[in-house]
């Protein structure tokens, strides 16, 4: 009985060691992935800054900042989301459609207001 208990305990310790090694590997991979994403976002930010530096119109800067923020948010959400990939993709699709509809409604209402007041093209 004593030998059986030792064997079971050794097996459990071995499994725990293997699990810790696998978890460490996953943590390392995720850390490297986050570092790559961070570096890429930094590069994109620098490129965007080069695009709109010296310009008085801040629209491009605001759009690029918004897109970068959405990218970081989506990447973070996908890394830490408890839902499955299919659920996440469908939720992202729904949100994109919702935002697209809001933007379309806003710009179409602004353009119709401008044409109704005769201020279009000024």
Q: Are 90 and 68 in the same domain?
A: no
Prediction pTM value: 0.32
Read off the pLDDT of residues 3-59 as tens digits, 9 standing for 90 and up.
888 888 888 888 877 787 777 777 888 888 888 888 888 888 888 777 766 556 677
* Cα–Cα separations (whole angstroms), residue 55 to 63, 67, 85, 100: 14, 19, 40, 27
Confidence of residue 118 (pLDDT cuts 50, 70, 90): low
Can you tell me the mean pLDDT for 52-70?
Answer: 77
Q: Are 70 and 27 in the same domain?
A: yes
Task: Read off φ and ψ for residue 83, nearest 5 degrees.
Answer: -85, 165
Q: What does the alpha-carbon distance between residue 79 and residue 97 come to, in Å, rounded to a whole number?
A: 22
Q: Which residues of 18-35 are buried (b: 16+ CB within 10 A; e: fewer)?
A: eeeeeeeeeeeeeeeeee
Q: Are 15 and 67 in the same domain?
A: yes
Domain count, the chain: 2
């Amino acid at each position: 009985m004593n030998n059986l208990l030792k064997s079971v305990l050794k097996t459990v310790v071995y499994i725990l060691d293997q699990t810790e090694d696998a978890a460490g590997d996953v943590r390392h991979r995720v850390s490297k992935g986050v570092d790559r994403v961070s570096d890429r976002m930094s590069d994109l930010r620098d490129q965007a800054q080069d695009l709109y530096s010296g310009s008085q119109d801040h629209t491009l800067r605001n759009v690029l900042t918004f897109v970068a923020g959405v990218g970081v948010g989506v990447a973070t959400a996908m890394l830490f989301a408890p839902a499955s990939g299919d659920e996440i993709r469908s939720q992202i699709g729904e949100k994109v459609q919702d935002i697209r509809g809001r933007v379309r409604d806003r710009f179409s209402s602004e353009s119709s207001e401008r044409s109704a007041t005769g201020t279009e093209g000024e």
